[in-house]
Chain A
């Protein structure tokens, strides 16, 4: 009898001790690996009438301080010069206020708070494209630029308002030094890019910067189009759900080399399918898009917005500047009308 009592007591003792020992071991492991805070997650919404819409088109975080809520579908413009004057002319021309204003900063520059402030003063969310044009992505990943990044993060935190921050956009293409440029130019590997992205993200986290929405913006290109012109699927460059809040895809409609008009599906469908495989719950939008001027531009503008709706994209940022083509609005009246009508239908 005493032996039985001892056995029962031993079992009860073990039962009490086990969770305590396991808790100590788990806490030790978490402390050693610096996993001591609760993960911040954005909950997806339950589907209503259309599961596809809810799966992919919802889940947007509220833009946060300094800004109100955004509509179901948003629009924006990408600019290369003074945001305020361009925004004013856009508002006059189109009559629909955009929610995002995108501009491009070199990596080595300090945080462009004056540009961001202009955007916020106008009621926009600034989307900053941080381009590592004259620095090595590997060096960023290796910590060479830590001091600069820490200062940048502190400046963003001081700024206070929510910003969208993207690093090394269109990294999966061959045309930027932070992408996979053909030899003999320096090329960035996906591994280094992902390391760099995570490193930047971690520095911001270490400085307790909470007003950044991380926008990861690959290009629509995903394959070799000619010798030396190699792009890869976006999945190879994805830093991981923990490090990315929104996904912005870049791509334009125009004509191919034989003069044939391009449509939305052939430009965007591969990457959209790919992205939704590995990031099914991230909000996706077009972070830089436009239509090349030409006799069919009005039709392609309608096609662009129709495609964005059909694929349940959350928004679209028009490249209101000159690059390979002159994508600016306000040049051709018929294109402005087409844009205005399509935009009104898109944002609802």
Chain B
């Protein structure tokens, strides 16, 4: 493998490009709500983590402790660096898989398309379960491909990596049949009996491992798996229409899937064996699994994360399509290869631009705004008092660890806001503004009370969507003053 890496300057260039694209997001964005949730939960200890079995998308005692350990050492950057490492390894594995399946050029193109896709770029800068689950899934796919010609060890690595991926993020279970299909279809030409036997072996082993884990984890884990796979997420908002789910998916991965579909057509034109064509269809299907499932349950939340598991398959299919087109055009015209190369570059650039323009669902808030808010809270917080936050406070809670976790209080309605303020126990107000003034959002009574008792310390964000931090004014007196 070492020699292959040394020979492959293209792969190293792709990895360097991917790291260059991802690295700025490490400090450009602060922790988003899910990152904050996982890291906060991890810091609360092992027993607390177990209580999150149904609210985390994967086993709470696998990824969160690792991320939390890194967070303790190097902060959010270290936790995110682990994700980048996972994503880079995924890209390298996609290259190696593509090289074995279709040859070097399709492998390079496939790895490149994966590396520049917005979802992969941002996933490398997100301290979540997904990069770890993705690298395990791709490792299982690599083992599935190596199994045909390689030694018996791949037969062991494949189900273990797949079961680990399933446990790290339950949703990856949906791609298990794709891997089994890969073993059958790729191995078919070498001997049907062997292919079926290997696939059945992997399927049975993964089933036993997954089922064993389910029994070990008990009802809590079982329910966690159910609610994070076939049921809508507990964090999801109102249902989205199937059309809007599919439209979002088309925007994020539409181009790469279309090219992968062109690969199926190319295999038919080239009169490749039926198993090869079916395999290319399987790659397309794998890319569409997440959008189809989420359109079925009318849920847009977490679509980008879940689509990331289909992305390696789409990238492999698209790499094959572009490689095949380049080969065909090269045979037809003497300038064919140049045109095909330019087309591939344009495709990659389009992916790159779409990835930068389209906001992925898991991108955190701007770090400047988040840290302005955090700094204002930290400087003005008084020990033993409460921080009253309008809306979700997970990110603020993560950014300001000096405020005890009991001291963050959600502001649910004006009456509670007034009551909390009047009780004298609140020293900080964190208000989310949407282009309106305090009166319009909270009503005159609350706005007057805030103006009388608090001083605005920081405003972060844009005019249309900002966060304001207000600190208690020591000389303001109580609610009845003024």
Contacts and interface: CB of A to CB of B under 8 A. Distances in A.
Interface of A: 8, 10-12, 14-16, 18-19, 22-23, 26-27, 29-30, 33, 35-44, 46-47, 51, 55, 191, 194, 222-224, 232-233, 235-236, 238, 240-242, 256, 260, 262-263, 265-266, 269-270, 273, 276-281
Contact of B215 (A8, A22, A36, A241): A36
B208 A19 contact: yes
Interface in B42-77: 47-48, 50-55
Given A11-B155, A12-B193, A270-B410, A240 B51 contact: yes
Contact of B152 (A11, A51, A280): A11
A260 B53 CA distance: 40
Contacts of A191: 47
Nearest to A194: B47
Given A22-B209, A265-B416, A279-B54, A30 B216 contact: yes
Contacts of B211: 26
Nearest to A225: B425
Interface string B394-407: 00000000000111
Given A11-B194, A41-B223, A240-B50, A223 B407 contact: yes
Contacts of B52: 277-278
Contacts of B386: 223
Contacts of B198: 11-12, 15
B227 A281 contact: yes
B437 interface: no
B419 A35 contact: no
A51 B237 contact: yes
A51 B238 contact: yes
7 smallest A-B Cβ distances: which pairs?
A15-B201, A19-B204, A26-B212, A39-B219, A265-B416, A280-B234, A241-B220
B309 to A, nearest CB: 23
14 contacts: A11-B197, A12-B194, A15-B201, A26-B208, A35-B218, A39-B214, A39-B220, A236-B48, A242-B218, A265-B415, A269-B410, A279-B54, A281-B54, A281-B223
Contacts of B194: 8, 11-12
B205 A265 contact: no
B419 to A, nearest CB: 5
B412 interface: yes
Interface of B: 47-48, 50-55, 152, 155-156, 159, 191, 193-194, 197-198, 200-201, 204-205, 208-209, 211-212, 214-223, 226-227, 231-232, 234, 236-239, 297, 384, 386, 405-407, 409-410, 412-413, 415-416, 419-420, 422-423
Contact of A29 (B204, B212, B222, B423): B212
A290 to B, nearest CB: 19
Contact of B155 (A8, A15, A233, A260): A15
B407 A35 contact: no
Contacts, number: 149
Nearest to A277: B55
Contacts of A36: 215
A19 B160 CA distance: 11
Contacts of B191: 8
Given A43-B226, A51-B232, A279-B54, A222 B406 contact: yes
Contacts of B201: 14-16, 18-19
A42 B215 CA distance: 16
B216 A242 contact: no
A38 B232 CA distance: 24
B409 A38 contact: no
Nearest to B409: A270
B51 A235 contact: yes
Nearest to B153: A14
Contacts of A42: 223
B170 to A, nearest CB: 14
Contacts of B237: 51
A44 B227 contact: yes
Contacts of B214: 39
Given A14-B201, A279-B51, 4 more contacts: A19-B201, A29-B212, A33-B216, A41-B219
Given A36-B215, A41-B223, A265 B412 contact: yes
A51 B239 contact: yes
A238 B53 CA distance: 13
Contacts of A15: 155, 197-198, 200-201
B219 A238 contact: no
B215 A39 contact: yes
A36 B214 CA distance: 11
A131 B288 CA distance: 54
B208 A266 contact: no
B51 A266 contact: no
A281 B212 CA distance: 24
Nearest to B147: A11
A232 B53 CA distance: 21
A283 B222 CA distance: 17
Given A19-B204, A39-B215, A242-B219, A233 B419 contact: no
